[in-house]
Amino acid sequence: MIKHGGLDSKSANEVNAHLLRLKKEALTLGASDVRIIPADMVPVEDEIIEMCRPPFCEQYGKSANCPPHVMTPEDARQWIRSYNSAVLVKIDVLPGVLFSEQGLEVFRKVFVISARLEELSVGQGHASSKGLAAGSCKAVFCRDIPCDALIKDGKCRCPSLARPSMEALGINVFRLAREVGWEIHAILRKSDPDDIPSAMLAGLVLV
């Protein structure tokens, strides 16, 4: 149960009930596990966005939701402080699947869950709720085409689903996953899936 400083107990109970509704929805949409955490538990570190650059990720600078087009880690730290709670979602996946074409579908699922929870939360009066996903929206939604949102006066092709990833803002997903007790292993392009004990993707909704 999250403590909500500044709220009376009735309002705090309403917020907690809302967070539990989001958790239930995430599980219904196929999340493997969900944790409700205080927003100030979300670690933002400047070095994390280095993982968004080649050779780790080829999408650097190619999407409006990827660095350097998103807020800096410093700004993200301030922004996250304006929230009280967060819903952390994970999807377990076989390591080999992440290295296959099917892997994109798992990334897509994280976008779908994050965007749906954001939409639900906003619709229930938490107007500033914001979902974050895993990986680049360009790889999932605009794989072989340019990002329209980077073109002058252009708009995102998938505004209802595309979100920045947690890493793009500097969130240390590894640290966060471990802090909530989830098993997580480093997976690089050169990794051998047979050497990876388990894999997961994570999304986050700030409320």
Shortest distance in whole angstroms from residue 29 CB to ligand SF4: 19
Binder to ligand SF4 among 149, 166, 200, 201 (CB under 6 A)?
149
Shortest distance in whole angstroms from residue 62 CB to ligand SF4: 7
Binder to ligand SF4 among 15, 20, 94, 158 (CB under 6 A)?
158
**If binding is defined by CB under 6 A, does position 132 make contact with ligand SF4?**
no
Stretch that binds ligand SF4, among 115-123, 144-152, 166-174, 182-190 (CB under 6 A): 144-152
Q: What is the DSSP string of the chain?
A: ----TTS-HHHHHHHHHHHHHHHHHHHHTT-SEEEEEEGGG--B-GGGGGGGSTTT-TTTTSSTTSTTSS--HHHHHHHHHT-SEEEEEEEEE-HHHHTSTTHHHHHHHHHHHHHHHHHHHHHTT-TT-EEEBSS-HHHHH-TTS--GGGSTT---S-TTT---BTGGGTB-HHHHHHHTT-------TT--GGG-S-EEEEEEEE-
**If binding is defined by CB under 6 A, does position 147 make contact with ligand SF4?**
yes
x-marked contacts with ligand SF4 along 20-59 as a string, rule CB under 6 A: ----------------------------------------
Shortest distance in whole angstroms from residue 63 CB to ligand SF4: 4
x-marked contacts with ligand SF4 along 160-179 as a string, rule CB under 6 A: --x-----------------
Binder to ligand SF4 among 142, 169, 201, 206 (CB under 6 A)?
142
C-alpha 199 chain-centroid distance = 16
Of the CA atoms within 13 Å of residue 37, those in its CB half-sphere come to 21
Interface with ligand SF4 (CB under 6 A) = 63-65, 137-138, 141-142, 147-149, 156-158, 162
